[in-house]
């Protein structure tokens, strides 16, 4: 099942959010998932098996490739396995909250196909407007 949609959630405690039902359904039967730093200062959540598969592919590259080393450091240094409680909640670690600028009372979760992202609304809103502008300009060129 793919991760789809955009959901606005409110923090219910220090770093604690309810994972939307549709995101939980896309996780399947698993009560845990892997969360790490994403790109564009957001967080990325993966099914554990997808995370392991991607990690194996990244590890197969030569340590002599600096770009790959930087990618490994970025992703692995912050990766954590989170457990969803009976109310559908998780607690995001402080280092990840700070990285994604999630100091507000809200977060935006978006489905990105094989994974999902958690954004600060103050970053997501201008980002998606920029993307929509780009899409419009692409369409006008055709």
Q: Which two tokens stand for residue 61?
A: 């590259």
pLDDT digits (tens, 9 = 90+) for 56-80: 666 665 656 677 778 778 778 899 9
Q: What is the CATH number of domain 6-141?
A: 3.40.1550.20
Q: For residue 54, what are the contacts with CB-CB under 8 A and spacing of at least 6?
A: 46
Phi and psi angles of residue 119, each rounded to the nearest 5 degrees, phi first: -120, 150
pLDDT digits (tens, 9 = 90+) for 93-133: 999 999 999 988 999 999 999 999 999 999 999 999 999 99
């Amino acid at each position: 099942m793919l991760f789809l949609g955009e959901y606005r959630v409110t923090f219910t405690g220090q770093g604690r959010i309810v994972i939307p039902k549709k995101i939980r359904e896309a996780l399947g039967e698993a009560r845990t998932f892997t969360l790490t730093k994403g790109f564009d200062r957001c967080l990325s959540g993966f099914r554990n098996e997808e995370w392991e598969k991607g990690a194996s592919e990244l590890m197969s590259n030569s340590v002599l490739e600096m770009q790959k080393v930087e990618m490994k450091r970025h992703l692995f240094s912050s990766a954590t396995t989170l457990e969803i409680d009976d109310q559908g909640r998780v607690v995001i670690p402080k280092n990840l909250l700070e990285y994604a600028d999630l100091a507000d009372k809200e977060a935006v979760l978006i489905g990105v196909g094989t994974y999902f992202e958690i954004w600060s609304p103050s970053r997501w809103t201008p980002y998606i407007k920029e993307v929509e502008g780009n899409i419009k300009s692409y369409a006008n060129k055709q």
